[in-house]
Structure 1
């Protein structure tokens, strides 16, 4: 497959390059960066020296790029993918958007939370969370890759929601991310002296991943679900750990909770169930496409607590996009992604 990456100079774009290097069916043909066009990707990322020396191009010639590609990854902030994809309707290629433009079935939700007009509302797209939407991904023209916080949160809660074991209005999610989730552009909140030796919440009641979580969980439940979601920033480069709380319905015990996770994910290679009482950690999934899940039952409050850990740049971005690509082209989902976590 001839693969092009729009926005290759960001963290997600670089991670796509790292992972695709070992993919036996993928050939990188075009990589773009408007700011660094004309320079080598290895000048931007010296660790890629002798691995990739491809020149970064401008996407001004997007039609030529598309004509020579089977796969187009768009690793740009929201607002860009819908402009690009709208120009490429009719091209025989698959588009994987790592941003937010194609994540929502109802574009009015996107417009409300992202404060932008959606310019491609009729696009043939699906939500790109493989473990829940695999069959839809196989045939869609555009796959809107699930967000990082949302991937961990939805995968943690979907089995309980689908089985109607919890009260749908009782879900609270506390999520912690490494700073790479904010991208490579410098800003005060991610400046090293501001971040180091500190831990802070942000985006309470307003984070844009909230409606994405609600969309997927509502579909699994069969009715509208509203969640409370609070993200936090930790002084680490990679990783996400979510802690999800929900009240169990009367009569639901630990055995019922224990049974729904293997039923939902027993055949999912990239989901590793740690079981009741375990504590997943970001270190155990670092650099991989795994999602580690564990749960606890609090008999005193009759609540379930679910933990999920992922690498935000892999399962939360580039790795999941490649998993979606593998599904779309009928390949083994593990292709290019069968990685051992980096430890320590």
Structure 2
């Protein structure tokens, strides 16, 4: 498709946080025409009624999926929760490309999905052809994909920091400790007691200890890079902020590797990648330095413990960790400049 053509896009789950951020970004994308917004619980309402901050956009009203003429859609951005997305995406015609932001197509094995997500996969036949949508590492496969499964926000931050190191055998893969913190928007927009302002504000708490659903996704991709099975110690935390994610990875150096060597390997790996920045030595990545942008900042530090290093990454969980990454994959799939529609700088303070 020529770059001058408008590509007709529909958004599933347009009333959620990731759906709203996708609309915010895509509405100003020069190659996208948003032709359908699907939000079953808000069908019949305008987008402005659900999200007043998007009220200036001239977009179609929210509808159910049954009301969409899918023959008039070229690509679908999926923002539905896990467990719901696979059944809706399975109904779409093969002519429609899909960029899914849920967890339903990230795991390559249906049995693993059932184990971690508590239910059988509704479209196992689609798993084999799904491409893991970490753009920087699967760009070539994404170019020809029909279905792209965007990584979870935690895996995005962790894998961008560690995949080049695991692939280069610079770190051991039997002693990985990941301490991660995310803003409450990562829990979605549905009402949950633990994300009420009075309970999440002015506090910090771990959750999903030893059993978070992003664990198998991280292990799956690190294992593929390392060439052997990987088990990680991963603990996420809920931070009292709306957006942002910080991943602190404690790694054991392999062979003669050093912390400066790790940093050099990351600089080389991401030299031609516009959104991943290995920060200058001594600079500490922080969520407020990437807020509202599609950037990932990575820093490497020597640990005072002999033979260890600390790798820190920061992203905006709704942009690089979801909607922005989806749009980045869209650009790759359609032969467009990878940065198109994603040029906005971080919002600070």
Q: Same fold by TM (over 0.5)?
A: yes
The Cα of 1:333 is off from its aligned counterpart by 0.7
What is the 5 A alignment of 1:94-173?
94-123=97-126, 124-173=129-178
Measured against aligned partners, the alpha-carbon deviations of 1:107-163 in whole angstroms (never above 9, x if no partner) come to 211111001101211212111100111111111111111110110001111121111
Q: Work out whether 1:316 is the aligned partner of 2:311.
A: no
| 1:50 match | 56
Give the C-alpha shift of residue 249 in structure 1. 1.9
Q: How does 1:86-97 map to 2 (within 5 A)?
A: 86-90=90-94, 92-97=95-100
Alignment length, in residue pairs? 341
Matches within 5 A, 1:1-344: 1-62=7-68, 64=69, 66-90=70-94, 92-123=95-126, 124-344=129-349
CA distance in 2 between counterparts of 1:129 and 1:307 reads 18
CA RMSD of aligned residues (A): 1.2
- The 8 Å contact of residues 258 and 275 in structure 1, kept in 2 or not, is answered as no
Q: Which range moves more in the overlay, 174-183 or 300-309?
A: 300-309
Conserved in 2, the CA contact under 8 Å of 1:286 and 1:311?
Answer: yes
Quote how far apart the aligned CAs of 1:300 are: 3.2
Deviations 1:150-193 (A, max 9, x none): 10001111121111011110100000000011111121100011
- 2 CA distance for matches of 1:125 and 1:256? 34
Instruction: State the distance in 2 between where 1:252 and 1:53 align.
Output: 53
Instruction: Please identify, of 44-53 and 92-101, the stretch whose mean Cα deviation from structure 2 is larger.
Output: 44-53
- The TM-score normalised by the length of structure 2 is 0.95
Give secondary structure in 2 for the equivalent of 1:17. helix
Structure 1 window deviating more from structure 2 (272-281 vs 18-27): it is 272-281
CA distance in 1, matches of 2:48, 2:58: 6
Gaps of 5+ in 1: none
CA distance in 2 between partners of 1:174 and 1:82 (Å): 30
Contact 2:35 2:59 (8 Å CA) reproduced: no
Aligned counterparts of 2:260 and 2:42: Cα–Cα separation in 1:
55
